[in-house]
Amino acid sequence: MVPTNYYLILSAILFGLGVLAFVFKRNIITIFMAIELMLNAVNLAFVAFSQALGKPDGEVFVLFVIVVAAAEAAVGLGIIILTARNRRSLNVERVDLLKL
């Protein structure tokens, strides 16, 4: 059997890599993917705890996280399309003004 700690450590590693990607990538779409990666890492911890404690509550939370992530992806990608159309660039460092 795999100890729960292993799942939690994997979750922490994936979350850390997500933070790294969030800080270092310049492409707005890739940064958005880094957020999805962090959400996935948290989901892994949720499921590991839920299975370790023998309660399905954590898996219900994971379902909610997935729903919110899907909604977030729809709105976020809409914003990305709008930004790319207005700025003609996907580089976040070129999107530094609230006004055009």
Per CB under 8 A, contacts with other proteins among 18-37 are 18-21, 23-27, 29-30, 32-34, 36-37
Alpha helices, DSSP H, located in the chain: 4-24, 28-53, 57-87
Q: Which of 6, 87, 98, 100 binds other proteins (CB under 8 A)?
A: 6
By CB under 8 A, tell whether 95 contacts other proteins: no
- Residue 47 binding other proteins, by CB under 8 A: yes
Which lies closer to other proteins via its Cβ, residue 54 or residue 98? Answer: 54
The single-letter DSSP state of residue 2 is -
Question: Is residue 2 a contact point for other proteins (CB under 8 A)?
Answer: yes
Query: What distance in Å separates the CA atoms of residue 51 and residue 53, rounded to the nearest whole number?
Result: 6
CA angle 54, 2, 8 (to 5 degrees): 75
Cα 4 to Cα 36: distance, rounded to the nearest angstrom: 23
Q: Establish if 50 lies at the interface with other proteins (CB under 8 A).
A: yes
State which of positions 55-84 bind other proteins (CB under 8 A): 56-57, 59-60, 62-64, 66-75, 77-82, 84
Size of the chain in residues = 100
